Amino acid sequence: MKVRDISPQDVKSAQSGDRTALEAVLVGIQDRIHTLARRILVNPEDANEATQEILIQILTKLSTFRGESAFSTWAYSVAVRYLLSAKRIRERDMGLTFEIYAADLETGLVADPPEAPDQALMLNELRVSCTMAMLLCLSMDLRLAYVLGDVLEMDHVEASEVLELTPATYRKRLSRARTEVHGFTSRHCGLISDKAKCTCAKRLPAAIEMGRIRQGSFPNSMGSPLSYLDAKQQIEAVVDDLKTFKLQGTVPQHECPQEIRSQLTRILSPNL
């Protein structure tokens, strides 16, 4: 996510108690924090809860920011420490593995599936949901390395600083994560490989039956600039070793929900 960093002057003013600057700082970082939480946790409710907690921590720890790095780098570090340490996140870990996920994807495939209502929208929701969920098969350490490097597209120096690792250690984690994700998609994802058993169309009837995809409900693909066919065509157009990168890149960026923005406004204006 290549975006301009927050103004150093806004950060200094916010540290001095300027409410307008403080609001500008939080507004400037909230979508990035929410995107990180969504890609790490996947579940919208879990991500919303984590986003709010992280933004509150950024607010309360703001005085400790010394300007030794970009403000966004510091904010991501606060987020990562929360995601690694929060007990509620550890308790909700499903223990998903690539082996379990592969078996699940290949259960209930329909060779000649009927067309579902809102077929195109439901296929797109399934594509995005599956692409996001597969990262849950990575350990948290590898997932963070992968999301920072290949989803948020941080350079290795910044990502290693966020994760409090040496650049060499970060590169090893990212390489291992890439190998695991690419290995899975190249064997099991029909968007990546013609040899994979699972395709979105074959999988959709089972996903609907299990309640994972619901007509009229598109929490993961809502706002996506790409349709299912757009994403499929983009992935088909790139060479094999870039297809997994392109697949993850077709997941839409998720804006911070309005209810979290409203909650922050209430925190910043307790007397209103």
- pLDDT tens for each residue of 241-252: 788 888 898 898
Would you list the domain boundaries of the chain?
8-268
pLDDT digits (tens, 9 = 90+) for 173-232: 999 999 999 999 999 999 999 999 999 999 999 999 999 999 999 999 988 899 999 999
d(CA 210, CA 197): 19
Long-range contacts of 57-61 (CB under 8 A, 24+ apart): 57/82, 58/26, 58/29, 58/33, 59/22, 59/26, 59/264, 59/267
Helix (H/G/I), strand (E/B), else coil: 101: helix
pLDDT at 266 over 70: yes
The pLDDT value given to residue 157: 96
pLDDT over 70 for what percent of the chain? 97
Q: Average pLDDT, stretch 157-161?
A: 97
Residue 4 scores a pLDDT above 60? no
Looking at residue 168, its pLDDT comes to 97
Average pLDDT, the chain: 91
Task: Say which residue, 100 or 239, is predicted with more confidence.
Answer: 100
pLDDT for position 2: 45
pLDDT per residue over 162-187, tens digit each? 999 999 999 999 999 999 999 999 99
DSSP reduced 3-state for 214:
strand
- Torsion, Cα 62 80 130 98, to 10 degrees, reads 180
pLDDT for 7 equals 85
In this structure, are residues 243 and 185 in contact, taking their beta carbons and an 8 Å threshold?
Answer: yes
Would you state the structure tokens that stand for residue 15, as one six-digit string? 């540290």
Q: Which residues pair with 217 in a beta bridge?
A: 214
Non-local CB neighbours of 182 within 8 Å, separated by 6+ positions? 241, 244
pLDDT score, position 267:
78
Nearest by Cα to 23 from 236, 269, 257, 253: 269
Q: What is the pTM of this model?
A: 0.88
Which of 87, 102, 188, 110 shows the shortest CA–CA distance to 137? 102
Residue 218 φ/ψ, nearest 5 degrees: -135, 65
Render pLDDT for 36-52 as a digit per residue (tens, 0 to 9): 999 999 999 999 999 99
Positive or negative torsion for Cα 159, 165, 171, 176: negative
Report d(CA 185, CA 212) in Å as an integer.
Answer: 20
164 φ/ψ sector (left φ>0, alpha ψ -120 to 50, else beta): left
